[in-house]
Amino acid sequence: MRFQGLTSALRIFALPLRSHSTTVRRLNRPPLPISGATVLRAAPTIPFLSSFFGSSTKPDPQNDTMSYPDQRSDDAWQAVLSPEQFRILRQKGTERPHTGEYDSHYPSQGVYSCAGCSAPLYKANHKFKSDCGWPAYFDSIPGAVTRHTDSSFGMERTEIVCSNCGGHLGHVFKGEGYPTPTDERHCVNSVSLRFAEDGGEGEGKASI
Ligand SMILES: [Zn+2]
Whole-number Å distance, alpha carbon 5 to ligand 1 midpoint, is 59
CA torsion sign for 169, 173, 178, 182 is positive
Query: How far is the C-alpha of 81 from the C-alpha of 84, rounded, in Å?
Result: 8
Query: How far is the C-alpha of 37 from the C-alpha of 47, rounded, in Å?
Result: 18
pLDDT at position 66, please?
57
CATH of 74-196, one of 3.90.1150.10, 1.10.10.60, 2.170.150.20, 3.40.190.10: 2.170.150.20
pLDDT at position 120, please?
98
pLDDT at position 198, please?
86
Contact in structure between 89 and 167 (CB atoms under 8 Å): yes
pLDDT at position 156, please?
95
Contact in structure between 137 and 188 (CB atoms under 8 Å): yes
Whole-number Å distance, alpha carbon 106 to ligand 1 midpoint, is 22
Whole-number Å distance, alpha carbon 151 to ligand 1 midpoint, is 22
Contact in structure between 46 and 24 (CB atoms under 8 Å): no
Annotated catalytic, 187? yes
pLDDT at position 67, please?
85
Query: How far is the C-alpha of 38 from the C-alpha of 36, rounded, in Å?
Result: 5
HSE-CB for 105 with a 13 A CA cutoff: 24
Q: Where in the chain is the domain with CATH 2.170.150.20?
A: 74-196
Residues of the chain with pLDDT under 50: 1-2, 5-64, 201-208
HSE-CB for 90 with a 13 A CA cutoff: 20
User: Ligand 1 is a single-atom ion; what residues have CB below 5 A from it?
Assistant: 114, 116-117, 119, 162, 164-165, 167
Range list of β-strands (E), the chain: 111-114, 120-123, 127-128, 136-137, 145-150, 157-162, 168-174, 184-188, 193-196
